Structure 1
Amino acid sequence: MSDDALSGSKAPTARNFFSALQLDTRLLGMIGAFVVLCLVFNVFTDGRFLTPRNVFNLTIQTVSVAIMATGMVFIIVTRHIDLSVGSLLATVAAVMAVAQTDFLPNALGLELGHPMLWILSIVAGMVVGVIIGAFQGWMVGYLGIPAFIVTLGGLLVWRNAAWFITDGQTIGPLDETFTKIGGIGGTLGETWSWIFGVLAVAAAFALQFMSRKRKSSHGFPIKPLWAELTISGLIAASILGFVATLNAYDIPAARLKRIFAAAGETMPEGLTMGYGIPYSVLLLIAVAVAMTIVAQRTRLGRYIFATGGNPDAAELSGINTRFLTVKVFALMGGLCALAGAVAAARLGFSTNDIGTLDELRVIAAAVIGGTALSGGVGTIYGAILGALIMQSLQSGMAMVGVDAPLQNIVVGIVLVFAVFVDILYRKRTGD
């Protein structure tokens, strides 16, 4: 039986086009809102908002919040909240900074530039983040203290713990290799970015093909072939367009000369090179893929969404919901450590105010991305898109010249409006 026969497809018309694509209406709405937001800011900034330089800066500024937002999805899905993520980020960033500038050089003789220095410092930060997260999860799951109270206390405790770790000082400069994961200091370059883009397109096509084949083999309805090809084309255009935009942001000539000089070479006259994809974006992609697999393909993910949907039924079915809470908060702690590494690397220092108000941005990103505060519903890609919308909104307002207090007012209004729209959407769809 042919694919078209299995899907009951018809020739695409204006009426059945979008229904045949079977796209998530919420996702379409978010993408539409993001596109409109970008176009409006581009008009008000005289075309500066959508320049390759600003798109590049926007991506590296979004990464740390987006990484934490993927973990916040699991937290909120299980009907909890974590107000401590910004303070926890500051603590683990302080641990990593002190480890590579003081502890590891003195204890193990690893000076700045040693290939193991940045690795061990990140491992130290990850261990601390997971332990703190697990400890908070233990208080929530086993002691029965509401997550709001536990993490509100953590917001105060860990921010000031970071201050004691650094003695209130700005710690740096950090290891040069470590700072490459922050963004502008470490990128793939044009050639490797194109290679990555092509491989990403091929992987997306392969996943789409395998999904279609699996549905067909089990007798499930599948999309018309033209719909699959349309979606494939949109995916390919999005990925390659993103790569082309980042490659179009040229490295300044003075910096390019220093790069060639450091390699003992002379820069050819008139040479230009683009930055390409930042390492921090690659890290975010890896986290997004891993978290999506956990959510959709593992027992842990099934338990998380089952518990969020109905905690009592989940516990009666044999799920250890208390230990699950510990796991979810420990995972959140590990993601805070990764985000802290990116944030500190981007600055080149660990400062006392790093991660300030990130807890609000992370929660807002998850909620705007469609994670229901009532639990049981949420997506990783939605949270990342929510983080991008939040950062675009703030960056756009800053470029237009909106004062910081008014920026926070607008963000607060957008957050409340997003929750209101979510409530209306769920009532309409019956979710």
Structure 2
Amino acid sequence: MTLTKKDVRKFLSEYKIVALLIVIVIIWAFFGYLTYDSELGGSQFLTPRNFSNLLRQMAITGMLASAMVFVIVAGEIDLSVGSLLGLLGGIAAVMDVTYSLPLWQTITVVIAMGLFFGLMVGWLTAYLGIPSFIVTLGGQLAFRGMVLGLTGGITIAPVHPELKFIGQGYLPELAGNAGGVLLFLVLVFLAFRTRSNRQKHNLSVPTMPAEVGRLLFAGLIILGFVLTLNDYQGVPVPVLVLLIILAVFTVIGNKTTFGRHIYAVGSNMEATRLSGVNVAYVKMMVFALMGLMCAFAGLTTTARLAAGTPSAGFGNELDAIASCFIGGTSMRGGVGSVSGALVGAVIMASLDNGMSMMGIDTFWQQIVKGIILVAAVYMDIVSSGNQRG
């Protein structure tokens, strides 16, 4: 049986997440084999401790990627998120270290500033008509200059233990188990609710064995996830925050009118405008969500480092964008999912983690990530059938 381009295109189009999960398994097996140490009795990559570190590293990129999906789906781009993350993290450090303000005040101000800057970028793009590439490129420079001025070019440290817990804390084992059970029950509820709604409208639904099998597979992944993390110190707090963001953003994208408007704007902006949707407002709010996620990522970065540094967030915008493309978000807009972007973030973090453990030079890591980004965009072209020639 010959595998045709049509077959490949169909598989990539219908089973992108499955294909990405297979890629993750291959990457983990590859680094697991290369980091095997007979004296230590196993692979240094495939350990609960390294798995926990990998997920904590991925959490910050995942927070940015979860909102970047909506930005790209709406047909825009945001190059300023790394610098804005650094600025907001610097504000958190100054408020906590220099002024010793309560944690709730620090969090409130940082979130408010993130929303403000996001709305400003969105307003310049959506209402003044300045291309988002230019606005966010200018923002990248401006925000980086602001953080240098705010910190005086020096590291602000150490932050208080309460703030540090956000980036370095772990859930107790019982809380992690309860969270895993709750997550599985939510997945079951949403799956059967969606199934019921589709049946009411005479739409096709998977067979019951297929539905149950899919849920059992998801349950096994959740079980392995929780047990592995509990085997070290528990579920890291940044990972818990990321899972909550995943749930909220997935609901926004799939179950709300605003989410449908985002996809409609990216698919056909003019038709969406003619149908009565306020396109400018949708685009501005997408950037507001991006600013909000920069606030969460900035707080987490400062908490994880226990300090505010002028270089925080450098290059994070590229990791977030690459995670979206790797996860199946189309560069043409209108197509993408938060879950796919987070799987893409896991792939990026796995590559960073594995190559660092092997002592591979940073320049090689950048080369590999660049090649993978180009390959991911090519896969998008192949799956959509828009190849030239």
Given the two structures, how large is their TM-score scaled by the length of structure 2? 0.92
Match status 1:236 vs 2:219:
yes
Query: What is the CA deviation profile of residues 403-428 of structure 1, one whole-angstrom value per residue up to 9, with x for unaligned ones?
Result: 10010000000000110011101118
- The one-letter amino acid of 1:137's match is G
Query: Partner of 1:32 in structure 2?
Result: 22
> Which residue of the other structure, out of 245, 250, 258, is the alignment partner of 2:228?
245
Match status 1:140 vs 2:98:
no
Query: Partner of 1:271 in structure 2?
Result: none
SS of equivalent to 1:283: helix
SS of equivalent to 2:329: coil
- The one-letter amino acid of 1:248's match is D
Match status 1:206 vs 2:206:
no
- The one-letter amino acid of 1:341's match is L
Quote the offset at 1:231 in angstroms. Answer: 1.0
- The one-letter amino acid of 2:260's match is R
> 5 Å matches for 1:322-341?
322-341=280-299
CA distance in 1 between counterparts of 2:242 and 2:50 reads 19
CA distance in 1 between counterparts of 2:206 and 2:125 reads 44
Query: Partner of 1:190 in structure 2?
Result: 173
CA distance in 2 between counterparts of 1:403 and 1:169 reads 26
Aligned residues: 369
CA distance in 1 between counterparts of 2:382 and 2:204 reads 29
> Which residue of the other structure, out of 16, 28, 33, is the alignment partner of 1:43?
33
Quote the offset at 1:391 in angstroms. Answer: 0.7
Query: Partner of 1:63 in structure 2?
Result: 59
CA distance in 1 between counterparts of 2:209 and 2:125 reads 49
Query: What is the CA deviation profile of residues 67-93 of structure 1, one whole-angstrom value per residue up to 9, with x for unaligned ones?
Result: 110110111111111000000001111
Query: Partner of 1:162 in structure 2?
Result: 147
Quote the offset at 1:24 in angstroms. Answer: 4.0
**C-alpha RMSD of the superposition:** 1.5
Query: What runs of 5+ residues in structure 1 fail to find an aligned partner?
Result: 1-22, 111-116, 250-274
CA distance in 2 between counterparts of 1:330 and 1:208 reads 30
> 5 Å matches for 1:245-284?
245-249=228-232, 275-284=233-242
> 5 Å matches for 1:97-112?
97-103=93-99, 105=100, 110=101
CA distance in 2 between counterparts of 1:138 and 1:198 reads 41
- The one-letter amino acid of 2:209's match is W
CA distance in 2 between counterparts of 1:230 and 1:425 reads 26
Query: Partner of 1:83 in structure 2?
Result: 79
Query: Partner of 1:113 in structure 2?
Result: none
Distance verdict in 2 for CA 1:153–1:428, change over 3 Å: closer
Query: What is the CA deviation profile of residues 182-202 of structure 1, one whole-angstrom value per residue up to 9, with x for unaligned ones?
Result: 13xx11122221122122222
> 5 Å matches for 1:322-401?
322-401=280-359
Query: What runs of 5+ residues in structure 2 fail to find an aligned partner?
Result: 1-12, 37-42
Query: Partner of 1:216 in structure 2?
Result: 199
Query: For the pair shown, which has the larger CA radius of gyration, 1 or 2?
Result: 1
Quote the offset at 1:207 in angstroms. Answer: 2.1
SS of equivalent to 1:276: coil
> Which residue of the other structure, out of 224, 246, 258, is the alignment partner of 1:300?
258
- The one-letter amino acid of 1:315's match is R
CA distance in 2 between counterparts of 1:138 and 1:219 reads 41
Query: What is the CA deviation profile of residues 233-273 of structure 1, one whole-angstrom value per residue up to 9, with x for unaligned ones?
Result: 10110001000100111xxxxxxxxxxxxxxxxxxxxxxxx
Given the two structures, how large is their TM-score scaled by the length of structure 1? 0.83
Query: Partner of 1:272 in structure 2?
Result: none
- The one-letter amino acid of 1:245's match is T
Query: Partner of 1:181 in structure 2?
Result: 166
Query: What is the CA deviation profile of residues 376-413 of structure 1, one whole-angstrom value per residue up to 9, with x for unaligned ones?
Result: 11100001111110010111111122110010000000
Quote the offset at 1:176 in angstroms. Answer: 0.8
